[in-house]
Structures are given as structure tokens and as C-alpha cells.
């Protein structure tokens, strides 16, 4: 009879997001901090900007956020390969994922071909300028890619009272009302719950796959 010891290694979580004016960045930071408090090792990463510098400079809020977020590392494929769980964040663009985040996801084909995206936990969050504004369709579009990865989607669902206030079972969502509605406690509570749920499920999966005692005779 052989026994394999139970692992105590922390969950490795990468938060990958795109944010033009800072709302998605705030949620990403909240999720990262909550995941760390839940015991995860976390990488917070933004994706590369694709818009022309002139377009960014012409929008005061966009330019300001680009400056204050310059220190955040740009996501690489290694950040996804390293992770047990990945949380993607994006503003909605006509009911779909932003081109910046989608471009990063499209670079993961090599990892996909090697089977390195499978059996990880994935989740997502979204922001929009208007109420509704394509939030749910954006998360569903994001999750299409996860199905192709062979990943495991851990949505928050209505698994905590904070979700009945937030109202989006697919992932944390926030309406910025064209820059007039700051990220408040309702959104932060939803983000913290989502982070804790992702870490808990990813931890259970990690222990089950690589650390659960296995007996052979």
C-alpha cells in the first residue's frame, strides 16, 4: 500500500484585467487583496494597451489611469501557466470582451495546444457605463473561451447574500455611470466573495488532484 502526502501549497491565482479609466482596475485590486487574505499567492496583471497613444492622451480619465497604473506588470503567458486559478476582468464593449483582453487571451494558443490551460479554475468580472449595458453577455462571451480551454468556471452564483445586492450570478459587475459612480461597498463585497469562492474551490481541486492520499494494493 502506498500513500501520497497531502499538499499544503497555497493556491496560485493570477488576476488579469483591462481597464481604461480605472474601474476594472479597482475591482481587480479588491479581488487580489481578498484572495491573498484567503491564503492564495497572487499575481495582479494588466494586459497591454492597444489603443493609439493619441486616443489615450485625448481622454483625461484614460490618460490619468494609464499614468497611475504604469507600475502594474503586463500579463504574460507564464502568468497563466503558473496559476491554479485565473480571474479575468474587462469593461464591456458592445456586449462583448474588450479587444485588449481578447488579444491577450488569443495569445494563449500555445499553452492551449500543450494542454496547459485545462483543469484550472477560471472566473470573471465586468464593468459598464450604463445599467445592464451588456454585462452578462460580456461574461458569457468570456466564458466561451474557458470552455475551449477545458477550464472549470467558478462563477459566484447566488451563493451569498451579497450577490442578491450585486445581482449578477455570472461575476462581479459595476456600473460606473460614465465616470460618476465610484466603486462602492456593494461591488467590493461581491468582489471579495468571488475571490474567496475561487480560492476555496481551486484549493479543493488542487488538493484533490495532487495531494489527496491515494492507496494502491
The DSSP line for 72-120 is SPBP-HHHHHH-SEEEEEEEEETTEE-HHHHHHHHTTHHHHHTTTTTT-
How many Å apart are CA 175 and CA 134, to the nearest integer? 11
Q: What is the DSSP letter of 6?
A: P
Q: What residues does 153 pair with on adjacent strands?
A: 122
Please give the tally of structural domains in the chain.
1
Q: What is the DSSP letter of 203?
A: H
How many Å apart are CA 28 and CA 16, to the nearest integer? 8
- Beta-carbon contacts of 199 under 8 Å, excluding residues fewer than 6 positions away, are 11, 13, 35, 38, 39, 40, 85
- Structural domain of 74: 12-210
Say if residue 90's pLDDT is above 90.
yes
Q: What pLDDT score does 209 carry?
A: 64
Q: Would you say residue 116 lies in a domain? A: yes
| R_g of the chain, CA atoms, integer Å | 18
pLDDT digits (tens, 9 = 90+) for 108-134: 999 999 999 999 999 999 999 999 899
Residue located via cell numbers 470552455: 147
Mean pLDDT, the chain, whole residue set: 92
pLDDT band at 95 (very low <50, low <70, confident <90, very high): very high
Could you tell me whether strands 96-97 and 85-93 are parallel, antiparallel, or unpaired per DSSP bridges? Answer: antiparallel
Smallest Cα–Cα separation from 32: which of 91, 77, 72, 78?
72
Q: Which residue has the higher pLDDT, 208 or 40?
A: 40
How many Å apart are CA 148 and CA 108, to the nearest integer? 11
Q: Would you say residue 2 lies in a domain? A: no
Q: What pLDDT score does 210 carry?
A: 52
pLDDT digits (tens, 9 = 90+) for 3-44: 444 456 899 999 999 999 999 999 999 999 999 999 999 999
How many Å apart are CA 129 and CA 180, to the nearest integer? 9
- The residue-averaged pLDDT of 195-215 equals 79
Q: What pLDDT score does 46 carry?
A: 98
Q: Would you say residue 157 lies in a domain? A: yes
Q: What is the CATH number of the domain that holds 135?
A: 3.40.50.360
- The residue-averaged pLDDT of 188-213 equals 87
pLDDT digits (tens, 9 = 90+) for 41-56: 999 999 999 999 999 9
Residue located via cell numbers 450604463: 130
Q: Would you say residue 215 lies in a domain? A: no
In terms of C-beta density within 10 A (0-12 exposed, 13-18 middle, 19 or more buried), how is residue 106 classed? exposed
In terms of C-beta density within 10 A (0-12 exposed, 13-18 middle, 19 or more buried), how is residue 169 classed? middle
Q: Would you say residue 160 lies in a domain? A: yes
Query: Measured between alpha carbons, how far apart are the two ends of the chain, in Å?
Result: 5
Q: Would you say residue 216 lies in a domain? A: no
Amino acid at each position: 500500500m502506498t500513500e501520497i502526502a497531502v499538499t499544503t501549497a497555497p493556491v496560485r491565482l493570477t488576476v488579469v484585467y483591462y481597464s481604461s479609466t480605472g474601474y476594472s482596475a479597482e475591482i481587480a485590486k479588491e479581488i487580489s487583496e481578498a484572495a491573498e487574505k484567503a491564503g492564495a499567492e497572487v499575481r495582479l496583471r494588466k494586459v497591454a494597451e492597444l489603443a493609439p497613444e493619441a486616443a489615450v492622451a485625448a481622454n483625461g480619465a484614460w490618460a490619468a489611469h494609464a499614468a497611475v497604473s504604469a507600475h502594474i506588470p503586463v500579463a504574460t503567458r507564464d502568468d497563466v501557466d503558473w496559476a491554479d486559478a485565473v480571474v479575468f476582468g474587462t469593461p464591456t464593449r458592445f456586449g462583448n470582451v474588450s479587444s485588449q483582453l481578447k488579444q491577450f487571451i488569443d495569445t494563449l494558443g500555445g499553452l492551449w495546444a500543450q494542454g496547459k490551460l485545462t483543469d484550472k479554475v477560471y472566473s470573471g468580472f465586468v464593468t459598464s457605463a450604463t445599467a445592464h449595458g451588456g454585462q452578462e453577455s460580456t461574461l458569457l462571451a468570456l466564458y466561451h473561451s474557458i470552455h475551449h480551454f477545458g477550464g472549470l468556471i467558478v462563477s459566484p452564483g447566488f451563493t451569498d447574500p451579497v450577490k442578491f445586492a450585486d445581482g449578477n450570478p455570472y461575476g462581479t459587475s459595476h456600473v460606473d455611470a460614465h465616470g460618476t459612480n465610484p466603486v462602492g461597498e456593494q461591488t467590493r463585497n461581491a468582489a471579495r466573495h468571488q475571490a474567496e469562492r475561487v480560492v476555496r474551490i481551486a484549493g479543493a481541486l488542487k488538493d484533490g488532484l495532487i495531494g489527496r492520499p491515494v492507496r494502491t494494493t
